[in-house]
């Protein structure tokens, strides 16, 4: 059965053609592996060019480097064999290493998991390693690097320290009321809880931006058939992603395009026009897919053809509202601004419910309104400046929001004078923060997190 005491090995570079491949070995037998394959006992952090041999067979040749515990990525002895790239040579070296007694294949993310377990990094930084590898934009990479360097954990630890200090003072009031009653009666409890709540709110706000950088924001184009959704998708993507015709119901499936808006990766999804009576079974399936996308959207762009009477616009909008009830996440895009605005559309836009929604007129033919649309999208998606943003995941947001809930409860309770219950609520908040950095965790959580990593990391 695999344990943390095992020596592990894996190829740490992508498969396929390349100049160099790295095979990484970590554990107590790493130095023995180096001696077996190269015939020398390398000194720490010195580079040796050697043939990699096993049973007098040359497997490859290249560079070997030894990183002694605890000054290595995992905190254990690590040896790296840097040989030729390709599909065959790296596997020959790895298979030779795995044939040595006491060495096994690393599991996904096991090197980084050992780094976490050996206190080389906390859990938020460990997750940032994977986020940096899979970053889809330069901004996401910068934010992941910020988390890897500890900026996310610094925010969480600052919040945790404030909560810890508050708990100490509250529990001192309970144990020694005659000496510490001034902390409660002077109003200092309210001030400290206000500061804690403000810091928690700020951390959630930045972390939400980090999630957008990590996952990308999701924008869905919705509206009646032939309202200009596919044309707008093509214009924002800068390429012909969707087929555009004057025939209603042309779009039958979900089409997506990846763009960047102010450094944030955004997935824009073009959907089939939503109507109650599709022309055939295929369009009906497309409409159902459109509805599924609406449920996952961060922002819905509701398209209206501004050049002709809005025959079924209200019917379509009613359908959209069934799946996106938050009007703050719906924006009206009036297409074909190069043509005169239809009087009926003008009247519709000035009436309920459309007059309460943000409206932008665009023309993909003349490109008018597209720059304004991008600026409006920045505001609607809550995109903040990239500087100071750290990468984050949904589980981080969930833990932060739970911690915030308990902080707010503690504020409500302290006003009643029940310091015992207040202390309990604030402790719950501290526990949820501990889940982010790994101070409070479980094997199930660790298994889920590191299972997404590549094997060599």
Structure tokens at 251: 């779009």
Report pLDDT for 449.
53
Report pLDDT for 40.
95
Greater confidence (36 vs 281) lies with 36
pLDDT, averaged across the chain: 83
Greater confidence (451 vs 5) lies with 5
CA 380 → CA 58, 127, 138, 357, 374, distances in Å? Answer: 61, 28, 22, 11, 10
Closest CA to 383 of 286, 264, 237: 264
Structure tokens at 85: 């790239």
Report pLDDT for 429.
92
Q: What are the DSSP calls for 167-235, one per residue?
A: HHHHHHHHH-HHHHHHHHHTTHHHHHHHHHHHHHHHHHHHHHHHHHHHH-EEEEEEESTTSSHHHHHHH
| Sheet order of strands, 299-305 included | 255-261, 264-270, 217-223, 299-305, 330-335, 358-361
What pLDDT digit, counting tens, does each position of 181-220 carry? 566 666 778 888 999 999 999 999 888 888 877 777 888 8
What pLDDT digit, counting tens, does each position of 392-435 carry? 888 889 999 999 999 999 999 888 888 889 889 989 999 999 88
pLDDT(254) > 50: yes
Report pLDDT for 241.
46
Report pLDDT for 273.
57
Report pLDDT for 237.
78
Contacts of 430 (CB under 8 A, 6+ apart): 160, 163, 164, 167, 403
Q: What are the DSSP calls for 14-52, one per residue?
A: -SSS-SEEEEEEESTTHHHHHHHHHSS-PPBT-EEEEEE
Mapped onto helix, strand or coil, the DSSP state of residue 102 is coil
Structure tokens at 24: 């990484």
Catalogue all structural domains in the chain, each as residue range(s) with its CATH number. 7-121 (3.30.1360.120), 138-212+390-442 (1.20.120.430), 216-380 (3.40.50.300)
What pLDDT digit, counting tens, does each position of 265-275 carry? 788 888 765 55
Contacts of 166 (CB under 8 A, 6+ apart): 189, 192, 193, 196, 426
Structure tokens at 117: 């377990």
For the residues 249-258, what does the mean pLDDT come to? 60
> Confidence band (pLDDT; 50, 70, 90) for 278?
low
Greater confidence (264 vs 210) lies with 210
CA 269 → CA 55, 169, 219, 233, 294, distances in Å? Answer: 57, 52, 6, 8, 10
Helix (H), strand (E) at residue 53: strand 47-54
Helix (H), strand (E) at residue 397: helix 394-414
pLDDT(252) > 70: no
> Confidence band (pLDDT; 50, 70, 90) for 443?
low
Helix (H), strand (E) at residue 283: helix 281-294
Report pLDDT for 446.
57
What pLDDT digit, counting tens, does each position of 98-117 carry? 999 999 999 988 999 999 98
């Amino acid at each position: 059965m695999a344990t943390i005491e095992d020596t592990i090995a894996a190829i740490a570079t992508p498969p396929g053609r390349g100049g160099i491949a790295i095979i990484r070995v970590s554990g107590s037998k790493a130095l023995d592996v180096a001696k077996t394959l190269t015939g020398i006992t390398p000194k720490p952090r010195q580079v040796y060019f050697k043939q990699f041999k096993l049973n007098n067979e040359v497997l490859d040749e290249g560079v070997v480097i030894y990183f002694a515990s605890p000054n290595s990525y995992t905190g254990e002895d690590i040896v790296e064999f840097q040989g030729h790239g390709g599909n065959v040579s790296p596997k020959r070296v790895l298979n030779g290493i795995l044939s040595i007694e006491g060495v096994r294949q690393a599991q996904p993310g096991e090197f980084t998991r050992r780094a976490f377990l050996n206190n080389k990094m906390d859990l938020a930084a460990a997750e940032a390693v994977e986020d940096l590898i899979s970053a889809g934009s330069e901004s996401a990479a910068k934010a992941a690097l910020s988390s890897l360097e500890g900026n996310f954990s610094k925010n969480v630890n600052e919040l945790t320290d404030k909560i810890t200090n508050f708990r100490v003072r509250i529990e001192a009031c309970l144990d020694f009321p005659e000496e510490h009653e001034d902390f409660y009666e002077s109003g200092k409890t309210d001030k400290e809880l206000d500061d804690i709540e403000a810091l928690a709110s700020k951390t959630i706000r930045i972390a939400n931006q980090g999630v957008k950088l990590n996952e990308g924001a999701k924008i869905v184009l919705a509206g009646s058939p032939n309202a200009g959704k596919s044309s707008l998708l093509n214009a924002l993507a800068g390429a012909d992603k969707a087929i555009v015709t004057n025939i209603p119901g042309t779009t039958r499936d979900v089409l997506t395009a990846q763009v960047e808006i102010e450094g944030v990766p955004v997935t824009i999804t073009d959907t089939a026009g939503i109507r109650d009576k599709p022309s055939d079974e295929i369009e009906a399936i497309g409409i159902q897919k459109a509805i599924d996308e609406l449920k996952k959207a961060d922002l819905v762009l509701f398209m209206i053809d501004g050049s002709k009477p809005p025959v079924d616009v209200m019917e379509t909008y009613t359908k959209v509202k069934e799946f996106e009830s938050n009007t703050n996440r719906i924006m009206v895009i009036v297409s074909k601004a190069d043509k005169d605005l239809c009087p009926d559309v003008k009247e519709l836009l000035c009436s309920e419910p459309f007059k309460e929604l943000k409206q932008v007129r665009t023309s993909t033919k003349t490109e008018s309104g597209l720059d304004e649309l991008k600026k409006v999208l920045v505001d609607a998606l809550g995109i903040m400046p990239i500087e100071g943003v750290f990468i984050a995941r949904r589980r981080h947001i969930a833990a932060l929001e739970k911690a915030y809930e308990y902080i707010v409860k503690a504020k409500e309770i302290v006003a009643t004078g029940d310091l015992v219950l207040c202390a309990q609520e604030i402790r719950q908040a501290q526990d949820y923060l501990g889940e982010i950095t790994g101070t409070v965790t479980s094997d199930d959580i660790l298994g889920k997190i590191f299972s997404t990593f590549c094997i060599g990391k």
